[in-house]
Amino acid sequence: DTGVSQDPRHKITKRGQNVTFRCDPISEHNRLYWYRQTLGQGPEFLTYFQNEAQLEKSRLLSDRFSAERPKGSFSTLEIQRTEQGDSAMYLCASTPDLSYNEQFFGPGTRLTVL
């Protein structure tokens, strides 16, 4: 399968713990996006990268959240000191470049904070 992959698919953690998610975009896709989706809502933008540079962060990305894409390939999203309100589906998407219309989404990581 050459689509966007995310790992893990599910994560259950206790409040206050740190969690890290990984996203592997489609090969040679320069742009990588993170979204968060809570139950009954559409996905909400968190941040995106052009190669290794993080170009934009939304207000949803609090100080407890950090994202990296160190070599311009895979990306990680870390949440420190998780809260119950962080429970959501975290989606990753990629696209070849700025001019491409379609974003290719991964299956998401479902986070449950107890």
Partner 1 sequence: DAKTTQPPSMDCAEGRAANLPCNHSTISGNEYVYWYRQIHSQGPQYIIHGLKNNETNEMASPIITEDRKSSTLILPHATLRDTAVYYCIVRVVHQAGTALIFGKGTTLSVSS
Q: Which residues, 6 or more positions from 55, have their beta carbon under 8 angstroms from its beta carbon? A: 48, 49
- The answer to the question of residue 4 lying near partner 1 (CB under 8 A) is yes
Residue 88 dihedral angles phi and psi, to the nearest 5°: -175, 175
* Least CB distance to partner 1 at residue 19 (A): 19
Q: Does 25 bind partner 1 (CB under 8 A)?
A: no
Candidate segments 12-20, 61-69, 75-83, 105-113, binder of partner 1 by CB under 8 A: 105-113
| 65 touches partner 1 by CB under 8 A | no
The rounded distance, in Å, linking the Cα atoms of 104 and 41 is 19
Question: 71, 64 in Cβ contact below 8 A?
Answer: no
Q: Which of 13, 54, 58, 87 binds partner 1 (CB under 8 A)?
A: 58
Within residues 83-102, the interface with partner 1 by CB under 8 A covers 91-93, 95, 97-102
| Residue of 17, 41, 51, 112 interacting with partner 1 (CB under 8 A) | 41
d(C-alpha 57, C-alpha 53), whole Å: 11
DSSP string computed for 31-50: EEEEEEE-TTS--EEEEEEE
Residues found near partner 1 in the complex (CB under 8 A): 4, 31, 33, 35, 40-45, 48, 56, 58, 91-93, 95, 97-108
